[in-house]
Structure 1
Amino acid sequence: MENFLKTVKAEMIKQHKNYFHSKIIYVSLFIWPIISFLSSYYSFKPFRIENTPIAYLHQENLIIFILLGYICMNFFRSLVQSAWFFSFERQFGTLELIYLSPASRFSVILGNAISSVFESVWVMVVFSGCILLAKYKYFHINLPAALLVTILMMIIAVAWGMLLNALFLFSRDTGFLFTVLEEPMEVFSGVKVPTIVFPLWAKIISFIFPLTYVVEAMRRAFLNGESLYELKGFFQASIWIILVTFILICTCLRAGERYAKKTGNMALF
């Protein structure tokens, strides 16, 4: 266990030095999510939304409704990008060293995922906290449910990032996943537009992304005051998502290592 934690810590430090070596990086991490959020908010601002299918959504809490979606999206987006960066380990030749070392492969991708989450999203979280404090009177929050949903959101985000890391390590031919999972995840997960108004084909796509369930649960806990019991469907889905994700992670890591042992190289496509 001690070696596992040391590996996680070492990978976090390595990723920090590789990708967060300059303060100017935090400027881009702040500006891009804020621009996306403001673009969505002012797209809805001119329209009256009293007749929306979501009963608890109204003009006064619209900014919180969208902001909650973008907070969750920022967690998941940072992990998609981190997995893409982690695929460069193969090109730089450090992946072979990782596989030759006694370090747990699982701990390596866990360290990468955790580092990316907390390095990339804290600026957005600070901004969001200021907005939420200014609009606190429009909250209808169930505190126990909100705390549990927030914890599960971070766990699912890290698990999602670990899966993407495992996929990018499994093959060099997974660069298309960055394109497939970046913008479509934002569109189909209900971050901008609630999934309840989607046509059937779009709802089917939205079920693929764990972010869909997270965004919906966050909004219901923070804006509709739903209890732990009322959100039990989300908690059950979260357990299944985490279990399936970790099974896929272990499968990808074992398959990649098995191929490397068989062929003597890491050029798996």
Structure 2
Amino acid sequence: MRPFIKALAAEMIKQHKNYFHSKMIYVSLFVWPFLNFITTYYSFKVFDIGKSKIAYITAENMVVYLLLGYMCMSFFRSLVQSAWNFSFERISGTLELIYLSPVNRAAVLLGNAVSSLFESVFVMLIFSLLVIVMKVEVLIIKILPCITVFFIVTAMAVAWGMFLNSLFLFSRDSDFLFTILEEPMEIFSGVKVPTALFPLWAKAISIIFPLTYAIEAVRRVVLTGSSLYEIREFAVIGIGITVVLFALISVIIKRVESHMRITGNITLF
């Protein structure tokens, strides 16, 4: 256990020094999500939200409704981008050095995911909390369901990040994966437009992304005060997704190591 923790901490420190070496980094991490949020907010302003039949959206809570979506999106988007950046370690030769060492492979992937998750969303999270405090009158919160959802969403995000790291690291060209997983995740996960309004083909795509379930659960516990019993379906799905992703990560790591022993090449696909 101790070597695993040491490898995890070392990877987190390394990623911090590589990608968060300047305070201006945090400014950029706030500006782009904030501009996207403002654009979406004023896009919604042209409609009469009061007459809409969209579940739990009102003119009063629209800001919080959209903000919760973007806050969850920041969690998952940061992991897509960090996995893409992590893939350059294969190009620079760092990954080969890691694999020549006895370090735990899962600890390296987990360290990258955890470091990127919390550092990348820190500024956006503070902004979101300030807005939510200002609009506290529209919130219907029960503490235990909120805590439960937070831990499940965090576990899903970390597992998603580790899974993406394993895909990006061992692919010949990961640029197409970044294109597929960046914008489509935002479009089809209900960040801007509720998935209930999607046509059938778009709903089919939305169920692929863990972010879809995370956003729905967060909105329900914050805006409708859903109980643990009412979010039981999300809890089962969220835990199931996390378990499946960790299983896939284990399979990919073992498959890559087997491939490397035979070919001497870490590129699996």
Report the TM-score when normalising by structure 2. Answer: 0.98
8 Å contact 2:170–2:267 — kept in the other structure?
A: no
Name the structure 1 match of 2:193: 193
8 Å contact 1:185–1:209 — kept in the other structure?
A: yes
Q: Does 1:240 align with 2:240?
A: yes
Identity of aligned residues (%): 59
**5 Å matches for 1:21-60?**
21-60=21-60
SS in 1 for 2:53: coil
Q: Write the distance in 1 (CA, Å) between the matches of 2:22 and 2:238.
A: 36
Q: Write the distance in 2 (CA, Å) between the matches of 1:194 and 1:241.
A: 21
Name the structure 1 match of 2:114: 114
What do you get for the CA RMSD once the two structures are aligned? 1.0
Q: Which amino acid aligns with 1:119?
A: E
Name the structure 2 match of 1:251: 251
**5 Å matches for 1:153-172?**
153-172=153-172
CA offset at residue 252 of structure 1?
1.0
Q: Which amino acid aligns with 2:231?
A: L
CA offset at residue 254 of structure 1?
1.1
8 Å contact 1:195–1:206 — kept in the other structure?
A: yes
CA offset at residue 172 of structure 1?
2.3
SS in 1 for 2:228: coil
Name the structure 1 match of 2:10: 10
8 Å contact 2:189–2:206 — kept in the other structure?
A: yes
CA offset at residue 175 of structure 1?
2.2
CA offset at residue 173 of structure 1?
2.5
CA offset at residue 53 of structure 1?
3.1
SS in 2 for 1:190: coil
8 Å contact 2:83–2:168 — kept in the other structure?
A: yes
CA offset at residue 264 of structure 1?
1.5
Q: 1:229-249: per-residue Cα shift (whole Å, max 9, x none)?
A: 011100010111011101111
Q: Write the distance in 1 (CA, Å) between the matches of 2:56 and 2:241.
A: 27
Once the two structures are overlaid, the 10-residue window that deviates more, 148-157 or 5-14, is: 148-157
CA offset at residue 171 of structure 1?
1.6
Q: Write the distance in 2 (CA, Å) between the matches of 1:256 and 1:39.
A: 42
Q: Does 1:103 align with 2:103?
A: yes
Query: What are the ranges of 5 or more consecutive residues in structure 1 without an aligned counterpart?
Result: none
8 Å contact 1:87–1:172 — kept in the other structure?
A: no
8 Å contact 1:163–1:245 — kept in the other structure?
A: yes
Name the structure 1 match of 2:219: 219
Name the structure 1 match of 2:184: 184
Q: Write the distance in 1 (CA, Å) between the matches of 2:95 and 2:136.
A: 47
> How many pairs does the alignment contain?
269
8 Å contact 2:163–2:249 — kept in the other structure?
A: yes
CA offset at residue 267 of structure 1?
3.8
SS in 2 for 1:57: coil
Q: Write the distance in 2 (CA, Å) between the matches of 1:217 and 1:173.
A: 34
Q: Which amino acid aligns with 1:227?
A: S
Q: Does 1:262 align with 2:250?
A: no
Could you list the runs of 4 or more consecutive aligned residues of structure 1 that deviate by over 3 angstroms after TM superposition? none
Name the structure 1 match of 2:62: 62
Name the structure 2 match of 1:131: 131
Report the TM-score when normalising by structure 1. Answer: 0.98
- Over 3 Å counting, the alpha-carbon distance change for 1:55 and 1:77 in structure 2 is closer
Q: Write the distance in 2 (CA, Å) between the matches of 1:175 and 1:123.
A: 27
Q: Which amino acid aligns with 1:222?
A: V
Q: Which amino acid aligns with 2:50?
A: E
CA offset at residue 51 of structure 1?
3.3
SS in 1 for 2:152: helix
Q: 1:122-172: per-residue Cα shift (whole Å, max 9, x none)?
A: 000011111001000110112211111111111100100000001112222
